[in-house]
Amino acid sequence: MSRRGTAKKKTAKSDPLCHSRFVNMLVNRMMKDGKKSLAYQIFYRAGIDIKQNKKENPIYVLRRAIARVIPKVTVKTRRRKNGKTYKVPVQIPKLQGILLAIRWLIGASRKRSGTSMASQLSSELIDAASKKRGNAIRKKEETHKRAEASRTFAHFR
């Protein structure tokens, strides 16, 4: 019998102000060169913009945006014994989908034109949450289209 204990599952920490794990995950992904306090400032400024423009709680807007951007399936490349490669649609686990959605939201907000990262982030979150448009939503739809197109290779999983 092994003497080692079982590995403890890591839980995501929550941010100090809003006590939300989604905010902490977003800030950790947004952070560059270890400047977490700057990333928090950017998110909180974006929250102020959301509150002024939409008159809604920014945490609810963030949750709704993430929920609408989460992809259900993705395409993975599988190599067969005969040397051919196929793009196979694969379902995504919930946590991995959340991380992809956060990554897509931040990438889309960085590509936007705006005065500051806070305004870019707030406009991308508003678009994804309420208007169902924006670059992150478009990326999700492209991923789903690719998976639908390669549905014939689903038996290669």
DSSP 55-72: -S-HHHHHHHHHHHH--S
Average pLDDT over residues 127-142: 88
Q: Is residue 10 part of a domain?
A: no
Give the per-residue pLDDT at 152. 61
Q: How confident is the model at residue 134 (pLDDT cuts 50, 70, 90)?
A: confident
The boundaries of the domain holding residue 26 are: 21-156
* Residue range 107-126, pLDDT digits in tens: 999 998 878 999 999 999 99
Max intra-chain CA distance, the chain: 61
The pTM is what? Answer: 0.82
Q: Is residue 9 part of a domain?
A: no
Q: Is residue 11 part of a domain?
A: no
Q: Is residue 14 part of a domain?
A: no
CATH number reported for the structural domain that contains residue 102 in this entry: 1.10.455.10
Give the per-residue pLDDT at 157. 57
